[in-house]
Amino acid sequence: LKQDGNVEFVKRGSWTEADHRQLTSYFHESINPLLTPIALDVAHPFPHIYNKSLNYIIELKGKDIYGREVDTAMLSIPKNLPSLIKLSNDGETVRFTSTCEVIRDQLKTIFDGFTVKAAYQFRVTRNSHLFIDKEELTNLHQALKGELHQRNFGHAVRLEISANMPEKLVAFLSEEFELPNTEIYLIDHFIDLTRFRELREFLKDRAELFYPEFLPKYAEKWVDTDDIFSIIKHKDQLFHHPFDSFSPTVRLLEVAAKDPKVQMIRMTIYRTGNDSQLMKHLVTAAKNGKEVNVVCELMARFDEETNLTWASILEEAGVKVVYGIFGYKTHAKMLLIVRNEATRKNPDHLEYYTHVSTGNYHTGTARVYTDFALMTSDREIAQDVTDIFVTLGSLGRPPELKKLWQAPFTLYDNLISHIDFEIEEAKAGRKAHIMARMNALLETSIIEKLYEASNAGVKIDLLVRGACSLRPGLKGFSENIRVYSVVGRFLEHSRVFCFHHAGKDALYISSADWMHRNFFRRIEIAVPVYYEAIKKHIINEGLSAYFEDHTAWILDGETGEYYQERFTSEERGAMLSAQEKLLISRK
């Protein structure tokens, strides 16, 4: 949704008489029956507040119907209420207000007989980590299923409150949630902006306010073809989602599920949709008698229930499902297809087709997350992937991989080794350059190694979407490092590491961010890219295009703040972001 347009949020102080009539009627018919106000006293103690629910704490004056003084009340906003209400309108402007504003206006009705002195919003975030006792664990599937309902009862870890809440109430909530002041955040605007998502529905007829519809590029060679394996065998296939369609990945699994020559399918599942076609194709494959092996990560945060459901469905269909390694999330994205391509000379000949990706096997996120995916028939990559799958099931000693880097075993050490190589190149007076992109950069030892590389003269360009602990551009410390972040129509999700490597451009696509957990507490992979054309494509589209993006945000190492290059409004209006250029390139 674009920022401009005739759209107006109307606060209750600006409602017209007609607005008041409309909203009062709506309150009594649709809101009030769902509310549960609680005046606090000895018989009405502070209620349990659900994770991320929106609430009012209300200051009252007066006596209840039994003649007792009441000064505080609570009211939670039901999640099944719409967040926004469209107001009547005679012109082109779309006018709306929030359900919270309506409830605030009607508190005098809800607490009839009291004087409502003031009301303040707050929201608590609870620890969503699911506790599984390793000592008592016998079946992860069953244990996790029993823990899911506990998520709303975790310890409070953050409290967001209206900025004008008086200290007395802040102290009261702080004590109730057992939170120090450092975990209390004053919000001077709306708490929980996700509630404004409903605005899209109000504006669905205003096409000019939305990004133009975009259909990912879908090459004709993938349309309705059953010869998909010949395409991959001919040469490696690269996809840059969402600019390139995710449909070929779905098509690959669909064909494999029905192809009588396919003997085995192996796949990791970290996040997938509730109505995933990919999962349905795995079910079909198993029912067609193929050997199907899935590593399903049950501990994928907030997707546990979806993964539990699919794990059960897959098992019922005959799929062999394992849940990875307890304590080490399986975050690698891998799909392996083994196909019998026998000939007269070689009647037992098997071919291996591998799909690896920086993103999940999820058709929904593939439309809004940027990720790279590679389909290849490279035998050594397939062997590495096979070995990883086998050890995830057997829990045996990890083999020595030929091409892939795997966390928690070799990925970190290989990354350090490649940075060290660039350091030695720079010290020898030769060109040394590191380009990388990731979601987060927090691992201290990697940051220290990058500082060392910068001081040796290595040029380092980093695209870090989220948290970054590195301080770039500091003289005599990190002056050769630049850190960029891009916020646009799509969420930047891909991980790419590129080292100049004496002119050879050692390039890897990976599932891993540069964080301690990814290096040492997860199953991750980094996959080398060998074809020069594909390597160049990734460098141009996934790295250089973003480092040359004048709309990108740049991290200031001194202040820790992000800034954009200075341009006039006319100049900036004429600029295209890296994402916009990539969209145009696919038309």
Q: Which residue has the higher pLDDT, 431 or 566?
A: 431
Cα(281)–Cα(279) distance, integer angstroms = 5
Coil, helix or strand at residue 383:
helix
Cα(166)–Cα(172) distance, integer angstroms = 10
pLDDT, residue 68, reads 86
Coil, helix or strand at residue 568:
coil
Tokens of 47: 């209620």
Cα(240)–Cα(542) distance, integer angstroms = 8
**pLDDT tens, residue by residue, 471-525:** 999 999 999 999 999 999 999 999 999 999 999 999 999 999 999 999 999 999 9
For residue 234, which phi and psi values (nearest 5 degrees)? -65, -45
Tokens of 133: 């006792």
pLDDT, residue 149, reads 57
- Which residue has tokens 């927090």? 442
Helix or strand (DSSP H, E) at 75: strand 72-76
Helix or strand (DSSP H, E) at 489: none
Q: What is the DSSP string of 1-70?
A: --S-SSEEE--GGG--HHHHHHHHHHIIIIIGGG---EE-BTTBPPPP--TT-EEEEEEEESB-TTS-B-
pLDDT, residue 4, reads 54
Cα(3)–Cα(554) distance, integer angstroms = 22
Cα(337)–Cα(263) distance, integer angstroms = 8
pLDDT, residue 534, reads 98
Read off the pLDDT band of 133 (50, 70, 90).
very low
Cα(403)–Cα(513) distance, integer angstroms = 19
Mean pLDDT calculated for residue range 425-452: 98
Mean pLDDT calculated for residue range 563-570: 84
Can you say how many angstroms the Cα of residue 183 is from the centroid of all Cα atoms in its chain?
23
**% of the chain residues with pLDDT over 90:** 72
Q: Is the pTM of this model over 0.75?
A: yes
- Which residue has tokens 């062999």? 320
Mean pLDDT calculated for residue range 150-179: 90
Mean pLDDT calculated for residue range 366-378: 97
Cα(424)–Cα(558) distance, integer angstroms = 28
Cα(490)–Cα(241) distance, integer angstroms = 10
Q: 457 with 477: CB under 8 angstroms?
A: no
Angle at which helix 140-147 crosses helix 304-317, to 10 degrees, equals 140
pLDDT for 131 beyond 80: no
Read off the pLDDT band of 572 (50, 70, 90).
confident
pLDDT for 401 beyond 90: yes
**pLDDT tens, residue by residue, 41-66:** 877 889 999 989 999 999 999 988 88
Catalytic residues: 331
Strand order in the sheet with 94-98: 7-9, 94-98, 84-86
Can you point out the beta strands (E) in 325-402? 329-330, 333-340, 350-357, 369-376
Please enumerate in sequence order all residues whose Cβ is within 8 A of that of 507, keeping only pairs 6 or more positions apart, or say none.
496, 497, 498, 499, 528, 529, 535, 538, 539
Which of 458, 510, 463 has its CA nearest to residue 332? 510
Q: 276 with 246: CB under 8 angstroms?
A: no
Tally the C-alpha atoms within 13 A of residue 314's C-alpha that lie toward its C-beta. 31
Read off the pLDDT band of 100 (50, 70, 90).
very high
**pLDDT tens, residue by residue, 279-327:** 999 999 999 999 999 998 876 565 677 878 888 899 999 999 998 888 8
Coil, helix or strand at residue 324:
coil
Helix or strand (DSSP H, E) at 497: strand 495-499
Q: Which residues pair with 126 in a beta bridge?
A: 156
Can you say how many angstroms the Cα of residue 141 is from the centroid of all Cα atoms in its chain?
24
pLDDT, residue 578, reads 95
Q: Which residues pair with 69 in a beta bridge?
A: 63
Strands 262-269 and 333-340: antiparallel
Q: Which residues pair with 335 in a beta bridge?
A: 267, 355
- Residue count of the chain, please give it: 587
Give the domains, in start order, of the chain with CATH numbers: 7-209 (3.30.1840.10), 220-403 (3.30.870.10), 407-585 (3.30.870.10)
Cα(583)–Cα(581) distance, integer angstroms = 5
Read off the pLDDT band of 8 (50, 70, 90).
confident
Distances (CA, A) of 360 to 49, 90, 241, 366, 457: 33, 46, 11, 8, 36
Q: 502 with 477: CB under 8 angstroms?
A: no
Which of 137, 138, 519 has its CA nearest to residue 328? 519
pLDDT for 434 beyond 70: yes
pLDDT, residue 488, reads 93
Rg (CA), the chain: 28
Which of 128, 132, 104, 137 has its CA nearest to residue 118? 104
Tokens of 509: 């696509």
Q: Which residue has the higher pLDDT, 221 or 410?
A: 410
Please enumerate in sequence order all residues whose Cβ is within 8 A of that of 382, keeping only pairs 6 or more positions apart, or say none.
336, 352, 353, 354, 376
DSSP class of residue 277? H
Please enumerate in sequence order all residues whose Cβ is within 8 A of that of 186, keeping only pairs 6 or more positions apart, or say none.
161, 162, 163, 165
pLDDT, residue 140, reads 53
Mean pLDDT of the chain: 91
Cα(514)–Cα(57) distance, integer angstroms = 41
Q: Is the dihedral of CA 577, 581, 583, 584 positive or negative?
A: positive
Cα(374)–Cα(538) distance, integer angstroms = 11
Read off the pLDDT band of 1 (50, 70, 90).
very low
Q: 339 with 261: CB under 8 angstroms?
A: yes
Cα(328)–Cα(37) distance, integer angstroms = 44
Read off the pLDDT band of 255 (50, 70, 90).
very high
Q: 221 with 560: CB under 8 angstroms?
A: no
Q: Is 337 exposed, middle or buried (0-12, 13-18, 19+ CB in 10 A)?
A: buried
Read off the pLDDT band of 136 (50, 70, 90).
very low
